[in-house]
Amino acid sequence: MNFSLLIKPVSADCNLRCEYCFYIDHLDNVEKKPRMSDNTLEAMIKSYMKTDQNNQYAFGWQGGEPTLLGIKFWERVIELQKKYAPPGAVISNGLQTNGTLITDEMAQFFAEYRFLLGVSLDGPAYLHDYYRKTIGQKPTHSLVMRGIDRLKKYHVDFNILILVNNKTVKKAREIYLYLKNHGFNYHQYIPCVEFDENGNLKHFSITGEEWGDFLCELFDEWIKEDINQISIRLFDSIINYLVNKQYTVCYMGSDCCQYFVVEYDGSIYPCDFFVQENLLLGNIMKGDWRDFLISPIYKKFGKQKSLWNDYCDKCSYLNLCHGDCQKFRSGDYKSLKKLSVLCKGWKKFYTYNLSQFEILAKNLRDNKEVNGSFQIKRKKINRNSPCPCGSGKKFKNCCLR
**pLDDT category of residue 387 using cuts at 50, 70 and 90:** low
Contact call for residues 51 and 13 (beta carbons, < 8 A): no
Does the pLDDT value for residue 53 go beyond 80?
yes
The secondary structure of residue 201, as a DSSP letter, is B
Residue 302, CB-side half-sphere exposure with 13 Å CA sphere? 19
Provide mean pLDDT across the span 9-38: 94
Average pLDDT estimate for 158-162: 98
* pLDDT in the model for residue 401: 47
Phi and psi, residue 97, nearest 5°? -145, 155
206 compared with 29, residue with greater pLDDT:
206
For residues 140, 142, 143, 147, the Cα torsion angle rounded to the nearest 10 degrees is 140
| Phi and psi at residue 66, to the nearest 5° | -65, -20
| pLDDT computed for residue 254 by the predictor | 95
Contact 350, 389 (CB under 8 A): yes
Contact (CB, 8 A) for 369 and 228: yes
Instruction: Decide: residue 174, CB within 10 A, 0-12 exposed, 13-18 middle, 19+ buried.
Output: middle
- Residue 272 is a catalytic residue: yes
Considering all CA atoms of the chain, what is the largest pairwise distance in Å, rounded to the nearest integer?
A: 65
**H helix count then E strand count, the chain:** 11, 10
d(CA 61, CA 49): 16
Whole-prediction pTM: 0.90
Percent of the chain residues topping a pLDDT of 70 = 90
Per-residue pLDDT band at 342 (split at 50, 70, 90): very high
Which listed residue (13, 122, 213, 272) is catalytic? 272
Find the helix or strand (DSSP H, E) in which 363 lies. helix 343-365
Least confident piece of the model among 178-187, 267-276, 388-397:
388-397
The DSSP secondary structure of 85-146, one letter per residue, reads: PPTT-EEEEEEEE-STT--HHHHHHHHHTTPEEEEE--SSHHHHHHH-BBTTS-B-HHHHHH
